[in-house]
Chains A and B, each alone.
Chain A
């Protein structure tokens, strides 16, 4: 009888662990789905930028984030900050600088995570960079999402965070690119870019 009860308790514990694991995966998928859905829910550029910041601040967990973009129609122009949260002006002014980690990520068109890829060549203001995600369309980099320190209670990027960075690279890029095209078209037609 005691053995049966023990086995039953073991089984309950195992099922609880299984449920927790499934719920965590479900939560991760829900976050990814909502992030992608939100990025494509609007063609308003300002709204798309807001969603990118919401994903980094609230779901990944960094309150030091900036989105850089090249001015529309100027493929050779340097990247400049178009939206930010929690970063000092001196960092914002340096973000588009040549050399360093952000420039390397943008030149290669590939996400750079210093904790994984190394910090070699980091400029002074990049010492606490957590990730730089280039925003691309047809292999052309037109912007980047960069963020620095994670919240104190978050020790490092999780599996979900890496998936969210992939989502930003793919869906963030296409959403922001479409919004830029929409804005340009609306400007030429003298219409309203909001939908």
Chain B
């Protein structure tokens, strides 16, 4: 069975490394990007099955990145989980309007991330 591939996007390397470790141990292939522009390039190149996208990033924030991913044929239907600092209704609404599938709130919780990824992808 082909392993599912997850693209994780965050400007904080510490978060990326924890996410990578958890997802790899759970049997997923992982690709990393440090900002929105890198994420768009990685999504075209790697064809991920799911994208975990931080909202606050340099160069291009998560909302804009999400909008652009949804405009592309190859990522139109890929589940996108946005990671927001605040679970405020406004942020969540902007995220869903930008096309995200689900959201998580910071502080980062690796176990919660794994549960959400499994929910959208099934087991690795």
Contact = CB atoms under 8 A, between A and B. Distances in A.
A54 B14 contact: yes
Interface stretch (A32-40, A76-84, A89-97): A32-40
Interface in A19-72: 20, 23-24, 26-27, 30-31, 33-35, 37-38, 51, 54-55, 57-61, 63
A108 interface: no
Chain A contact residues, majority secondary structure: helix
A35 B109 CA distance: 14
Contacts of B25: 26, 30
Contacts of B107: 58-61, 151, 154
Interface stretch (B15-23, B42-50, B57-65, B68-76): B15-23
B124 interface: no
B98 interface: no
Interface of B: 12-15, 17-18, 21-22, 25, 85-87, 105-111, 114
8 contacts: A27-B111, A30-B18, A30-B22, A31-B108, A38-B17, A54-B14, A152-B86, A153-B87
